[in-house]
Chains A and B, each alone.
Chain A
């Protein structure tokens, strides 16, 4: 039974967790459990008794799993997937996708591989969505700051909006800085002065 595996996903962000579960379910793995809160991780893993644990490489809680794998005499010993470096291509793409995996109790490689391929694809998608969301948020925040800086200049120097933006750009270019940095400095300075 290729798909008869219990998989634990350690992920506190619900949306991300749902995405990953969906991906695995579509791939045929239906026995997927999420650990959202890592308080009492050892006990939770004991209850779920997974064959495989998936966790984001960027998750600081990874060191907790490491603790479990280093504990001697533990019955459940999760072992970092990268220990087996026979498949470098897979290791590379897992790292690139930001996925780390722990295998419990010597699961055979041919059973892990398809799960990881699915998980890697899903992790890639989720991290891309996250990157795009962050970029959009940052762009919005930057636009607000630049608007405020334009407002400061328009008031202080009686400029119209285009002239104000032109002045910001010219200053940034002259100083070899980014427009947003000049705008931030200006907004901070005007907050201090007014």
Chain B
């Protein structure tokens, strides 16, 4: 039987790996589907093509399906997140001049010290701080907002959208002072000699859902069996990617011209969790820099969706309570349970958790007994309870 062809959109990034690996290693064929991977030039193009039915599924920034379902930015359309494709994986960088100014202020160049680094950044930068992010509705923007707010920033930052491959150029042209971007583009800016990385995204939130597998809500109803096959495919790819032994091969596949078309040395950094903050510096090991399956990474926690809506709603003049309810409905924990249980995947007992409550790896009740989750702490120790709105 010929496999059902699925048009699948992605934006070339290290964390497109689950889709690329699913296709390259034929995890899709085993489930009777074939992914036609269609590289997209921008998140808005990807969003429009998915909403209008030109794509069947797509990699998406985790806040994007929520924004679309809330009618924010572009095409209002009910888009659901079937599962999380990747957790963490971003870096924050500043221009060389700003890094020097921070050192002039006594910054010790520490890479995983969010409080210290934040304090020195705010002391050294001129207001308003101009920060580049890939898209207005992105985890990058959310991480920056909470980090800067809670580091004591008083003048709101100027958040500027810059396509990831142009981030280095934007720093060089003095369009932005700082950026938050997915790998390999942070490392690429270091390689270009224009900036220094000062913080991994994970130092702000240890378990931030970064990309999700997105489909139209209606498509789920129309093709439930295809949706199940797609979810199983991606789950297998994520599990394969989470094995450290497989990451060298993953890096080689990703670097190919039809996918990322970049040298494997910059791709390796994110996959190996060893980031070079400055050109020629010794790498910094960042545990959990990017994961695909471990600690229940693929599970679409409704509390993660709630956190995103909780952050988005006030900035866009929406009622928090209704926004959170709509967001929770977007993250399809119900389908995850229904479609992946047959693979023997362990499921957490609940579909919501107190975001930020796990400082260490923690055993929690699950369907099979217990599973290890976390850590998922926020840098300031705050805890988000998805059931309490306010």
Q: Is B161's CB under 8 angstroms from A80's CB?
A: no
How long is the Cα–Cα vector from A91 to B53 in the complex, in angstroms? 12
Give the contacting residue for A63; candidates B43, B72, B173, B316; CB below 8 A: B43
Q: Mark B70-107, 1 if CB is under 8 A from A, else 0.
A: 00111110000000000000000000000000000000
A-B contact pairs, 13 of them (CB 8 A): A62-B44, A62-B45, A63-B42, A63-B161, A66-B44, A67-B136, A67-B159, A70-B137, A72-B315, A72-B317, A91-B52, A95-B48, A100-B48
A118 contacts chain B at the CB level, 8 A cutoff:
no
Q: Mark A85-100, 1 if CB is under 8 A from B, else 0.
A: 1000001100100001
Q: Is B161's CB under 8 angstroms from A66's CB?
A: yes
B residues in contact with A65, CB < 8 Å: 44
Give the contacting residue for A72; candidates B41, B76, B316; CB below 8 A: B316
Sorted nearest first, the 6 A-B pairs with minimum C-beta distance are: A67-B161, A60-B163, A70-B136, A70-B73, A66-B44, A62-B42
How long is the Cα–Cα vector from A64 to B45 in the complex, in angstroms? 12
Tell me which residues from 52 to 69 in chain A have a Cβ below 8 Å from any Cβ of chain B: 57-67, 69
Residues of A within 8 A of B (CB): 39-40, 57-67, 69-72, 80, 82-83, 85, 91-92, 95, 100
How long is the Cα–Cα vector from A70 to B316 in the complex, in angstroms? 9
Q: Is B52's CB under 8 angstroms from A66's CB?
A: no
Q: Mark B149-175, 1 if CB is under 8 A from A, else 0.
A: 000000000011111011000000101
Residues of B within 8 A of A (CB): 41-45, 48-49, 51-52, 54, 72-76, 134-137, 159-163, 165-166, 173, 175, 315-317
Give the contacting residue for B136; candidates A60, A66, A80, A82; CB below 8 A: A66
Q: Is A82's CB under 8 angstroms from B317's CB?
A: no
Q: Is B135's CB under 8 angstroms from A66's CB?
A: yes
> Taking A70-B73, A80-B75 as contacts, is the C-beta distance between A62 and B49 under 8 angstroms?
no
Report the minimal beta-carbon distance from B130 to chain A, rounded to whole angstroms: 12
How long is the Cα–Cα vector from A63 to B181 in the complex, in angstroms? 14
Q: Is B317's CB under 8 angstroms from A67's CB?
A: no
Report the minimal beta-carbon distance from B158 to chain A, rounded to whole angstroms: 10
B residues in contact with A39, CB < 8 Å: 173, 175
A-B contact count (CB 8 A): 79
Give the contacting residue for B52; candidates A61, A62, A70, A82; CB below 8 A: A82
A residues in contact with B175, CB < 8 Å: 39-40
How long is the Cα–Cα vector from A95 to B46 in the complex, in angstroms? 12
Report the minimal beta-carbon distance from B350 to chain A, rounded to whole angstroms: 33
A residues in contact with B48, CB < 8 Å: 57, 80, 82, 95, 100
Report the minimal beta-carbon distance from A127 to chain B, rounded to whole angstroms: 14
A residues in contact with B135, CB < 8 Å: 63, 66-67
Q: Is B75's CB under 8 angstroms from A82's CB?
A: yes
How long is the Cα–Cα vector from A64 to B41 in the complex, in angstroms? 12
> Taking A63-B135, A63-B163 as contacts, is the C-beta distance between A80 and B76 under 8 angstroms?
no
Q: Is A64's CB under 8 angstroms from B54's CB?
A: no
A residues in contact with B166, CB < 8 Å: 60
Q: Is B44's CB under 8 angstroms from A63's CB?
A: yes
How long is the Cα–Cα vector from A91 to B51 in the complex, in angstroms? 12
Q: Is B73's CB under 8 angstroms from A59's CB?
A: no
B residues in contact with A80, CB < 8 Å: 44, 48, 74-75
> Taking A70-B137, A82-B75, A83-B74 as contacts, is the C-beta distance between A59 and B41 under 8 angstroms?
yes
B residues in contact with A95, CB < 8 Å: 48-49, 52, 54
B residues in contact with A92, CB < 8 Å: 52
Report the minimal beta-carbon distance from B72 to chain A, rounded to whole angstroms: 7
How long is the Cα–Cα vector from A36 to B208 in the complex, in angstroms? 37
> Taking A66-B135, A70-B72 as contacts, is the C-beta distance between A57 and B317 under 8 angstroms?
no
